[in-house]
Structure 1
């Protein structure tokens, strides 16, 4: 029996590039930030 948590499907280069672009706007947010911090960060970027 295999453990589903150990299953790591291969990610294509195109998928990796797309994934990096999709969350690039969150690069300045500290790891572990909550919804409020993320919302504030996005609102500040929108104002600029």
Structure 2
């Protein structure tokens, strides 16, 4: 089996690719389109702070 063939294999879980992609991106829902690295970093930092404050 070649490396190219392994890339075409479906995910091992029952979760569809669309569902997995949505879950992986959900933490960026509030980031505006076109945001740069700094804006994304700030958004993620603020989110972590909020989660820490709730505990």
TM-score if structure 2 supplies the norm length? 0.63
Mind listing any 5+ residue stretches in structure 1 that lack a counterpart? 1-12
How far 1:39 moved relative to its partner?
Answer: 0.1
In 2, the alpha carbon distance for the partners of 1:29 and 1:46 equals 14
- 2:42 matched residue in structure 1: 40
State the aligned residue count: 36
Query: In angstroms, what is the RMSD of aligned CA positions?
Result: 1.1
Structure 2 counterpart of 1:20: 22
Q: CA deviation at 1:32?
A: 0.2
Q: State the TM-score, normalizing by the size of structure 1.
A: 0.72
Q: Which one has the largest radius of gyration?
A: 2
Which residue of the partner structure matches residue 4 of structure 1? none
Tell me which of the two structures has the higher relative contact order, counting C-alpha pairs closer than 8 angstroms and 6 or more residues apart: 1
